[in-house]
A = this chain, B = another copy of it.
Amino acid sequence: MVCIVTGCAGFIGSSLVDRLIAQGCRVAGIDNFSTGQHQFLEGALKNPLFRLIEGDLLDLPFLTQAFFGGDMVFHFSANADVRLGTEHPRRDLEQNTLATYNVLEAMRANNIKQIVFSSTGSVYGEAAVIPTPEDAPFPVQTSLYGASKVACEGLIAAYCEGFDLQSWIFRFVSILGERYTHGHVFDFYKQLKTDPAKLRVLGNGKQRKSYLYIQDCLDGIQLAVEKANDKVNIFNLGVDGYCEVNDSINWISQTLEVQPSLEYTGGDRGWIGDNPFIFLDTQKIRSLGWVPKASISEGVVKTVEFLKSNEWVLEAR
C-alpha cells in the first residue's frame, strides 16, 4: 500500500508522514516547499519507506506522473492562511480549488480511488448553529479560504459520485502542536520575542475559537478512515469546547513568563472574514470512539514549547 501525501512538508502533512511510516506504510510525499519545510522531513527522509517528490500541484502532467503507483491520497496541501484572502484573492482559488481539481484528475488518470482531504470549519461561515454539526444549514461563505475549501469538498464529492471514488473529508478547527508554522500562537510568539512587554491583538480578544492538538487530529483522521465506509464521509474534528483569544494570550504569556501590555485593534473580528465564534459539534467522530487527549490550553502550551525549541521556523517562511 502506497499512501500519497500532498503538502508532505507542511505542519499536518509532515506529521502524518511520520506517523504513516512509523506504522510501516510506504509514503510518496509531494511538496513544492512554498511554505513546507525540509526540516520537517528530516526523519522521514532517512526512512526507506518514504520518497519525496518535489513539484507543484498546479502542474497536472507532473502530478499525474507523481501519483503513479499510489493507492490512497491524503490531500493536505493548501493555502492555509485564512487572513490574507482579500489581499491575494487568486491564491485560495489556485492553491486550494484548482490544486484539488488536479489531484482528482491525477487520481482518475492513475485509477486511485480513495482520498482523504483536510477541509476546515471555516466552510460553515458564521454558523447559524453552534456547536456546528456536519449537516448544519447550508452556509454562506465569509472568506475566500472557506469558499475555496467548499469548492474542493464539492469537487471531491462530485468525483465520488461521477467516478466512483471514496472520500473522507475533515472539517478542522485550527490545529496546534509541533511543527505549527502559522496562526495566532505563531504571531504572538514572534511579537513577544521582539518585545516581551507589548502584544498587539487583532480584534477585541473576545473572539471565541476552538483548537485541536495535531496528534489528536491525526488519531481522528486515521480512526475515521478505518471505520467509516460511506462514499463520502464528512467529519468535524475539534475539542469539546472553545476559548477566548484572551485565554490563549494568558497561556502563552505564562509559558513564556512574560506580562505584555495588550493593544487591541478593536472590533469583534480580527480581520475581514474572521469568524468571531467557532465551535464544532464532534458527536459524529466521537461516536466512532475518538476522544481528543489534549485540552486547548495543553495544545497552546505544546505549541509555544515547540516554537521555543525551534525558533528557526519564525524566520523560515
Contacts and interface: CB of A to CB of B under 8 A. Distances in A.
Contacts of A155: 93, 141, 144, 147, 151
B157 A141 contact: yes
A136 interface: yes
Q: Report copies per complex.
A: 2
Nearest to A135: B137
Given A85-B158, A138-B134, A143-B162, A151 B97 contact: yes
Interface in A95-128: 97-98, 101, 104-105, 108, 123-125, 128
Nearest to A230: B140
A137 B140 contact: no
Most buried by B among A124, A158, A272: A158
A182 to B, nearest CB: 19
Nearest to A150: B154
Contacts of A158: 85, 141-144, 146-147, 273
A108 B87 CA distance: 12
Nearest to A163: B86
A179 to B, nearest CB: 28
Given A89-B104, A97-B97, A136-B137, 20 more contacts: A85-B158, A85-B162, A90-B105, A93-B101, A124-B138, A134-B138, A135-B138, A136-B138, A137-B138, A138-B138, A138-B139, A140-B234, A144-B159, A146-B154, A147-B158, A150-B150, A150-B151, A151-B154, A158-B273, A162-B273
The 9 closest A-B pairs by CB, nearest first: A147-B154, A151-B151, A135-B137, A147-B158, A86-B162, A141-B154, A141-B157, A150-B154, A142-B161
Interface of A: 85-86, 89-90, 93, 97-98, 101, 104-105, 108, 123-125, 128, 134-144, 146-148, 150-151, 153-155, 157-159, 161-163, 232, 234, 272-273
